[in-house]
Homo-oligomer: A and B are copies of this chain.
Amino acid sequence: MADSKKYLLGEDRIPKAWYNVAADLPVAPPAVLHPGTGKPIGPGDLAPLFPMAVIMQEISTERWIEIPEAVRDIYRLWRPSPLVRAGRLEKALDTPARIFFKYEGVSPSGSHKPNTAVAQAFYNKQEGVTRLTTETGAGQWGSALAFAGNLFGLQVEVYMVKVSYEQKPYRRALMETYGAKCIASPSNLTASGRAILAQNPESTGSLGIAISEAVELAAQRDDTKYSLGSVLNHVLLHQTVIGLEAQEQMTMAGFAPDIVIGCAGGGSNFGGIAFPYVGEKIKDQSKVRIIAVEPASCPTLTRGRYAYDFGDTGHLTPLVKMYTLGSTFIPSPIHAGGLRYHGMSPLVSHTKELGLIEACAYAQLECFAAAVQFARCEGIVPAPESSHAIKAAVDEALRCKREGKAETILFSLSGHGHFDMGAYTAYFAGQLRDEPYDQAAQDDALASLPKIAAE
């Protein structure tokens, strides 16, 4: 196939319900525990942070959860997103494999993140909340919530991991254009931030720290709730519009994927493309391979431990069972800031434990090389996070070539790299390195896992 081809759906094909993989899992996921008592938490324990509609989604085992019309109305600004057959990339790789990608970069903020940001802003507005706090890594989540909050008249305060705040000033400008406030984390506005700065005034921050800051503020203020852009069940639920649309579009294209690929930081993009296929795999006993791709410098699924841990560095969150590198682990400052999280979505971790998905890790430079090849074939310059999925897709396509197999590969291109061009500049200038993985730091971080982990 020499040319690339788009598969588009009309607005009426925006899914009417999100798919909840928890309904179909052969084994229920482990309970979320209260860090003080070690006992399972109830909905009320989460009420200071989240609106009740969201909490009920977090624990729901319903298979389909209706998408409110007000949310679908906003989805229509960019959804359904295109599915593209990457014919030019196939040709450049000279592979018999078919490569498809689902492109989420068409959203207003340029990534998949608004799929859940809009839903969360809607439910918060419905319950009378006036202000949302959140954290952001590369800035994709922060700008998505800024966009969504603005549409519902909510004030949005974003704690942005300092290394990204400095690397990506354009992301900050985007948040401000949407009317949000953006603060470099660790900041001195919270006890959590001040504690980190006291230890290390030069801290470049981490998602774990930024989460602590945002959670702390939300817990303190009645009019304020916290909004998380990944990791939790309801976030991945909202993202399943990606995979649901992709399933319909793959049917239009006349192929069923043999391999489904997504990059994974907290797990929301991966869960979004993967879970509808995980559901199919459970139902049909199909052999589809579902691959989460992570950075070698933050290899949660591939080198972490499956254990109860905190979601944040300041230990303000409940304990969740997940693959973790330890909540105090701070990954090296790679440009794929959205993948720098010590943990992994409990649902993604659980499907990995059940053998429903697999995982692999790639280093930064090989991902940028794949991203540049992709841009030169398909025109789209990918976000550094998404480049991990591209690298995995390219590797699978090259394996198909060696093995003479015409497999069908589908990956999620979670966002464009327009706000990350500084990273490309550094890559071309030879200034990027593959940071060695810090095994000692991981060992240290794992040694301080909460006691419950020993059970």
B179 and A6 contact, CB distance less than 8 A: no
Report A29-68 CB contacts with B as 1/0, cut-off 8 Å: 0000000000000000000000000000000000000000
Q: Chain B nearest CB: distance from A375 CB in Å?
A: 5
Q: A177-B424, A419-B418 are in contact. Are A4 and B76 (CB under 8 A)?
A: yes
Say how far A228's CB is from chain B's closest CB, in angstroms: 21
- Name which residue of chain B comes closest to A375, CB basis: B177
A147: CB under 8 A from chain B?
A: yes
Q: Is the CB of A425 within 8 A of B376?
A: no
Whether A76 lies near B150 (C-beta < 8 A) is no
CA distance A88 to B73 in the complex (A): 11
Of all chain B residues, the one with the shortest Cβ separation from A379 is: B108
A259 on the B face (CB < 8 A): no
Smallest beta-carbon distance A254→chain B, Å = 16
Interface segment, one of A166-174, A209-217, A323-331:
A166-174
Asked if B173 and A170 sit within 8 Å, CB to CB, the answer is no
> Smallest CB–CB gap between A369 and chain B, Å?
12
0/1 per residue, A155-180, Cβ < 8 Å to B?
Answer: 00000000000000111111011110
**Is A281 an interface position by the 8 A CB rule?**
no
For residue A258, CB closer than 8 A to chain B, the reply is no
- Which of A73, A173, A376 lies at the interface centre, i.e. has the most chain B CB atoms within 10 A of its CB? A173
Taking each of A77, A378, A419, which has the highest tally of chain B beta carbons within 10 Å of its own beta carbon? A77
Give A135-154 as 1s and 0s: 1 = Cβ < 8 Å from B's Cβ atoms.
00000000000010011000
Chain B residues with CB under 8 Å of A174's CB are 381, 418, 421, 424
Q: Please tell me if A127 contacts chain B, counting CB pairs below 8 Å.
A: no
Give the interface of A toward B (CB within 8 A): 3-6, 8, 10-11, 73, 76-78, 84, 88, 106-110, 147, 150-151, 169-174, 176-179, 372, 375-376, 378-381, 416, 418-419, 421-422, 424-425, 428
Contact of A147 among B3, B4, B379 (CB under 8 A): B379
Question: What are 6 A-B pairs at a CB distance below 8 A?
Answer: A3-B73, A5-B11, A108-B379, A170-B170, A173-B428, A179-B376
Contact between B425 and A176 (Cβ–Cβ < 8 Å)?
yes
A109 and B418 CA atoms in complex are apart in Å by: 9
User: Which of chain B's residues has its CB closest to A9's CB?
Assistant: B8
Which B residue's beta carbon lies closest to that of A425?
Answer: B173
A178 vs B376: C-alpha distance when bound (angstroms): 6
Q: Which residue of B lies closest to A371 (CB)?
A: B177
Contacts of A416 in B (CB 8 A): 418
Pair A422/B4 contact, Cβ less than 8 Å:
no
Which B residues are in CB contact (< 8 Å) with A3?
73, 76
Pair B10/A8 contact, Cβ less than 8 Å? yes
B residues within 8 A CB of A173?
A: 421-422, 424-425, 428
- Residues from chain B with a CB closer than 8 A to the CB of A178 are 375-376
A376–B149 CA distance with the chains assembled, in angstroms: 10
What is the distance, in angstroms, from A365's C-beta to the closest C-beta of chain B?
15
